[in-house]
Amino acid sequence: MRLVVLSACGEVSVDADGKRLWAGFEAFLGRPPVVALIEAIVGSTSLRWAQWATSRSSDIDAVLTPGSTDDAIASARLELPDGSHRFGRDARCATLVLHFEPTRLSSSPRLPVPPDVWEERLALALELPRALSELLSGDLGLAVSGDPPVQVVARLEAQKDLAEMIDIAGMTQLPGRPNGVQAVGYFIAGADGVPAVDAATQMMTHVLRYALSITR
C-alpha cells in the first residue's frame, strides 16, 4: 500500500536545521494516524523508524524496521518546498509518501482481508492530511494554506492479483475479465466533499466493481 499526501505550505529555508526537521518528522511518525496505520497494515507497533540518507536538505527519509535497515517493511518520505522545481511535483506543496510492504515480515504469504478492513485502513489514511498540517505548521513552523486543496492518493498493488490482498470469498464475481493487479484512488479536500469513511467506502466499492468484477 502506498499513500501520497500533498499539502500546500511555505518554503523551507535552504539553511534549515536538519536535526530539527528530522525531530519533527520522527515525532509525526510516532503519532496517530501513522501509528494506527502501522498497527492496521503491519500488525505490530514494536518496530522503529530509522533516518535514511537523502540528496536534498529539504527531503527527510525514514524506514520502518524490526532491526536491520535491510529488513525495512515500510518507508516514509517528506519533501518540503524549497523554491526548486521537481518533475512531477507541485512546487507549492509538501509531499508525504508512506509505503508499506508487510509481507517482508514473514516468509509465508499474508492472508487477504475483507473489504471493510481495507475501508478502515483507507479512512485512517484520509486522516493523514490533518496530522501533516500539524507537523508543517506546528513542528516545522511553515505556513499552511488550502491553495491548492489537499490531495491524497492511495494505491493498492499486489504481485499477481488484488484478490491476494482483498478477500472476495463468497462474493459474486462476474466473468469476462481477469482480476486487476493495482487500484488507485484520488481524493481532493473540499467543503462539498463527503466524510472520510464514506470516501473510503466509495473507493473500495469501485475497486471491487472495476478491478475484481464484484457486484456489491
Q: What is the pLDDT of residues 62-88, one digit of tens each?
A: 999 877 656 789 999 999 999 888 888
* Separation of alpha carbons 174 and 177, rounded Å: 8
Q: Give the pLDDT mean for 5-29.
A: 94
Q: Determine the pLDDT at residue 107.
A: 59
The rounded percent of the chain whose pLDDT value lies above 90 is 78
Which residue would you say has higher pLDDT here, 57 or 68? 57
Phi, psi of 119 (to 5 degrees): -60, -40
Q: Determine the pLDDT at residue 70.
A: 66
DSSP state of 107: S
Residue 148 has pLDDT above 90, yes or no: yes
Would you tell me how many other CB atoms lie within 10 Å of the CB of residue 108? 7
Q: Encode pLDDT of 109-129 as tens digits.
A: 778 999 999 999 999 999 999
Q: Is the peptide bond before 175 cis (omega within 30 degrees of 0)?
A: no
Confidence of residue 199 (pLDDT cuts 50, 70, 90): very high
Q: Determine the pLDDT at residue 103.
A: 72
Predicted structure pTM score: 0.94
Cell of 7: 499539502
Cell of 10: 511555505
Phi, psi of 121 (to 5 degrees): -65, -40
Confidence of residue 198 (pLDDT cuts 50, 70, 90): very high
Q: Determine the pLDDT at residue 69.
A: 59
The rounded percent of the chain whose pLDDT value lies above 70 is 95
Q: Determine the pLDDT at residue 215.
A: 84
Residue 165 has pLDDT above 90, yes or no: yes
Cβ(42)–Cβ(100) under 8 Å? Answer: yes
Q: Give the pLDDT mean for 176-204.
A: 96
Give, in order, the Cα–Cα distances in Å from 127 to each of 10, 73, 186: 21, 22, 14
Q: Give the pLDDT mean for 134-158.
A: 96
Q: Determine the pLDDT at residue 108.
A: 62
